[in-house]
Amino acid sequence: MSKLRDVFKNGHKAFIPFVTAGDPSADSTVSQVLALAAAGADIVELGVPFSDPIADGPVIQAAGLRAFAGGITVNGVFDIVAKIRETSQVPLVFLTYANIPFKYGYEKFTARCEELGVYGLVIPDLPAEEAGEILPYTEKHHVDLIPLISPASGSRLEKLVQHATGFIYIVSALGVTGQRNDFALNLPDLIASLRKVTDAPLCIGFGVHTPEQAKTLAKEADGVIVGSAIVQMVADNADPAPVIGKYTKEMVAAVESAE
Ligand SMILES: O=P(O)(O)OC[C@@H](O)[C@@H](O)c1c[nH]c2ccccc12
- Provide the ipTM: 0.98
The rounded percent of the chain whose pLDDT value lies above 70 is 98
What is the average per-residue pLDDT within 72-94?
Answer: 98
Residue identifier of the C-alpha nearest atom 10 of ligand 1: 227
Residues 145/168, Cβ–Cβ less than 8 Å? no
What's the pLDDT at 25? 98
Sorting pLDDT into bands at 50, 70 and 90, what band is 185? low
For the cut 80, the answer to whether the pLDDT of residue 183 exceeds it is no
For the cut 90, the answer to whether the pLDDT of residue 166 exceeds it is yes
What is the average per-residue pLDDT within 230-247?
Answer: 98
Q: How far apart are alpha carbons 67 and 57 in whole angstroms?
A: 16
For the cut 70, the answer to whether the pLDDT of residue 184 exceeds it is no
Give residue 86 CA to ligand 1 midpoint distance, Å.
27
What's the pLDDT at 221? 96
Sorting pLDDT into bands at 50, 70 and 90, what band is 140? very high
Residues 48/77, Cβ–Cβ less than 8 Å? yes
What's the pLDDT at 172? 87
Residue identifier of the C-alpha nearest atom 14 of ligand 1: 56
- Cα 78 from chain centre: 16
Question: Could you tell me which of 64, 69, 18 has the C-alpha nearest to residue 203?
Answer: 18
As for ligand 1, residues whose beta carbon falls within 6 Å of it are 18, 45, 47, 55-56, 60, 95, 124, 177-178, 205-208, 225-229
What is the average per-residue pLDDT within 20-28?
Answer: 98
Residue 57 CA: which ligand 1 atom is closest?
A: 1
What is the average per-residue pLDDT within 152-172?
Answer: 91
What's the pLDDT at 41? 98
Domains in the chain (CATH in brackets) are 13-256 (3.20.20.70)
Give residue 94 CA to ligand 1 midpoint distance, Å.
11
Between 12 and 180, name the one with better pLDDT: 12
Between 179 and 60, name the one with better pLDDT: 60
User: Which range among 22-36, 69-83, 177-191, 242-256 shows the weakest confidence by mean pLDDT?
Assistant: 177-191
Computed over every residue of the chain, the mean pLDDT equals 95
45 is annotated as an active-site residue: yes
Residue identifier of the C-alpha nearest atom 5 of ligand 1: 206
Residue 143, class by beta-carbon neighbours within 10 Å (0-12 exposed, 13-18 middle, 19+ buried)?
buried
